[in-house]
């Protein structure tokens, strides 16, 4: 990976998110962290397979530090960067995600906004509800990924220049934002759920649907 190219992508992500584009901040984290890891691996002339693991370590640390979620960072490195799970990558990626989380917490402790009682009894029906929500979320994630692929295929069939395709996508997201400005959020605000209770369940569901559509486009 090009370190200069990674820095450019990170700068573009900061700028686009700063002006309200719904592109997410994780691209900048992972690109820059992966680019640095790749440069280190290239300096030591690592084999391609080892270099891929090192890039996965960088991405895992970036995601873990950004979202305060070391497990999510590790899974991100395994599934999206390395492309699978193997014994030789388990330890380095896991440790990288944990270190990224600890460093981020030491520099800027963050609260995710979810407050739970100190003492809480978890009943059987609570576990059933949690498992059901997990299955539904997984199905929604698959739908979202397939929707992105389908949208890319439709845009590829358009006989238009890439700049015009980007314009069409921007207009579509802008129209969705007129209906619900919340779709322009990069997603981090959803972690602070205190304000979400001011809306009805139907309104929150509408936000989810429009946000998914904006992300796909």
Same domain flag for 72 and 130: no
Give the Cα separation of 172 and 76 in Å (integer): 29
pLDDT for res 201: 77
Same domain flag for 72 and 168: no
In 42-104, which ranges are E strands? none
Please tell me the pTM assigned to this model. 0.67
pLDDT for res 112: 58
Cα dihedral across residues 76, 81, 86, 90: positive or negative? negative
Task: Give the model's confidence band at 13: pLDDT under 50 very low, under 70 low, under 90 confident, else very high.
Answer: confident
Same domain flag for 91 and 128: no
Same domain flag for 76 and 9: yes
Q: How many domains does the chain have?
A: 2
Domain holding 41, by residue range, is 3-107
In a domain, 113, yes or no: no
Q: What is the DSSP letter of 80?
A: I
pLDDT for res 153: 86
């Amino acid at each position: 990976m090009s370190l200069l190219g990674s820095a450019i992508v990170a700068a573009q992500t900061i700028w686009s998110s700063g002006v309200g584009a719904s592109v997410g901040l994780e691209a900048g984290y992972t690109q820059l962290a992966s680019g640095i890891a790749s440069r280190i691996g290239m300096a030591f002339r690592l084999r391609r397979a080892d270099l891929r693991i090192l890039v996965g370590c960088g991405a895992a640390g970036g995601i873990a530090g950004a979202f305060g979620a070391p497990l999510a960072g590790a899974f991100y490195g395994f599934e999206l960067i390395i492309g699978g799970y193997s014994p030789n990558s388990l330890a380095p990626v896991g440790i990288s995600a944990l270190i990224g989380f600890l460093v981020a917490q030491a520099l800027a402790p963050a609260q995710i906004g979810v407050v739970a009682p100190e003492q809480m009894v978890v009943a059987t029906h609570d576990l059933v509800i949690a498992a059901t929500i997990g299955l539904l979320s997984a199905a929604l994630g698959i739908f979202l990924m397939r929707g992105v692929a389908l949208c890319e295929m439709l845009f590829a069939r358009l006989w238009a220049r890439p700049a015009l395709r980007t314009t069409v996508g921007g207009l579509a997201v802008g129209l969705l934002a007129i209906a619900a400005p919340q779709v322009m959020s990069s997603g981090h605000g959803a972690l602070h759920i205190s304000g979400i209770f001011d809306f009805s369940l139907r309104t929150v569901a509408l936000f989810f649907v429009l946000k998914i559509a904006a992300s796909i486009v």
